[in-house]
Homo-oligomer: A and B are copies of this chain.
Amino acid sequence: MIKVGIIGATGYAGGELARLLLQRDDVEIVWFGSKSYVGQNYGDLYQNVYQFTDGVCQGDDLEELSRMADVIFTATPQGFCASSMNEEILSRTKVIDLSADFRIKDVSVYEEWYKLHHASPQFLEEAVYGLPEINREKIKNARLIANPGCYPTCSFLSVYPLVKEGIIDPTTLIIDAKSGVSGAGRGAKVNNLYCEVNESMKAYGVASHRHTPEIEQQLSLAAGRPVVISFTPHLAPMDRGILVTAYASLAKNLSEEEIRAVYQDYYGSEEFVRVLKPGVCPETRWVKGSNFVDVNIKTDPRTGRVIMMGAMDNMVKGAAGQAIQNMNLMFGLPEDKGLKLVPMFP
């Protein structure tokens, strides 16, 4: 039985961790951490898990929790994990951080984009970027995982093979992403009220969103040289889902069929990346509730560009599902344990 603690269990990503882990019989959640609801029954706050657990919300004492848990998920605001981390904690337990604290290797980049002081940069080198499709082996032996952001996961996996193979010119890469509202969290903000978000679309964080350097870091590693991109997130009136539409000029003269073959090479054996059939565009409804990323491409001979598309559930592969995928790898379990979820439609 793996003893699991969740800090930030009352946010949406924390709630999704609970949903997925409470379905498993090899896992026990020993800690529902919360800042605002200490002392309240977790099943009263998330009535979906009513009768699945008797857990009561506790605080966010990472130190204490590290003595009880085999693995800790921190689904917390930026800054919390970095400021709470120390060698003792990591010597006792594994940590999977769903915040951005350990994703950006260059601390100055982190501090510039997040407007935060990083309290424990000494763990940046050790932290493994928890994208199994790229870092599977490193994850298996990691103590500290930087679980990727939602936009970066979908954006990166949608374009990665073509950047890695030099098939597109990365200086022309533009990523236009659309997200459901759960990505904005469960905080009480006017901007996320039903009537503010429903029946509307908007761009936000234009040319300034904090997931930009994370995507660029991973693309730079793939390209073998610095990559700077345009990234624009949009808010869409739906609960879950991220859709990425990416544009780039082809650097090599390949046909659509040849390009799809490259995706097949990269993802053919990946359980959670589905390369769709020719002509089929990814749609978020087909991945809802699952750990899949659906990807596909379309070439445009008129412009010499390729359009790369990806769809994903931001709560699962974009957060809790990927975190559990990482946990599985770290504990030597089948990578898909508890994640063989058929997407729910409608």
List A residues at the B interface (Cβ < 8 Å).
Answer: 12, 15, 18-20, 22-23, 44, 46-52, 172, 174, 176, 178, 180-182, 186-190, 192-204, 206-207, 228-230, 232, 234, 236-241, 243, 245, 247, 274, 276-277, 280-290, 294, 298-300, 302-303, 305, 307, 309, 311, 315, 340-346
Quick check: B176 and A245 within 8 Å, CB to CB?
A: yes
Can you list 25 pairs linking A and B with CB atoms under 8 Å apart? A15-B345, A19-B343, A22-B342, A44-B277, A47-B280, A47-B286, A48-B343, A178-B178, A193-B194, A199-B285, A199-B288, A200-B283, A201-B284, A202-B243, A202-B282, A202-B283, A202-B311, A206-B281, A206-B307, A207-B299, A207-B302, A207-B303, A228-B302, A230-B300, A315-B346
Which residues on B sit within 8 Å (CB–CB) of A302? Answer: 207, 228
Chain B residue, CB-CB nearest to A297: B206
**A303 and B206 contacting across the interface, CB-CB below 8 Å:** no
| Contacts known (A238-B237, A245-B232, A247-B230); A46 close to B307, Cβ less than 8 A | no
Bound state CA distance, A23 and B174, in angstroms?
37
Return A8 CB to nearest CB of chain B, in Å. 15
Which residues on B sit within 8 Å (CB–CB) of A230? 247, 300, 303, 305, 307
A63 to chain B, nearest CB (A): 29
Instruction: Considering the complex, give the chain B residue whose CB is closest to the CB of A204.
Output: B281
Q: Indicate if the CB atoms of A186 and B181 lie closer than 8 Å.
A: no
Beta-carbon nearest neighbor of A10 in chain B: B190
- Name the residue in A49, A203, A230, A309 with the highest tally of chain B Cβ atoms < 10 Å from its Cβ: A203
Residues of chain B within 8 A (CB-CB) of A206 are: 281, 298, 300, 307, 309
Which residue, A12, A18, A345, has most C-beta atoms of chain B within 10 A? A345
Q: Of all chain B residues, which has the CB nearest A195? A: B346
What are the residues of chain B within 8 A of A287 when measuring CB–CB? 48
Q: How far is the CB of A199 from chain B (nearest CB, A)?
A: 5
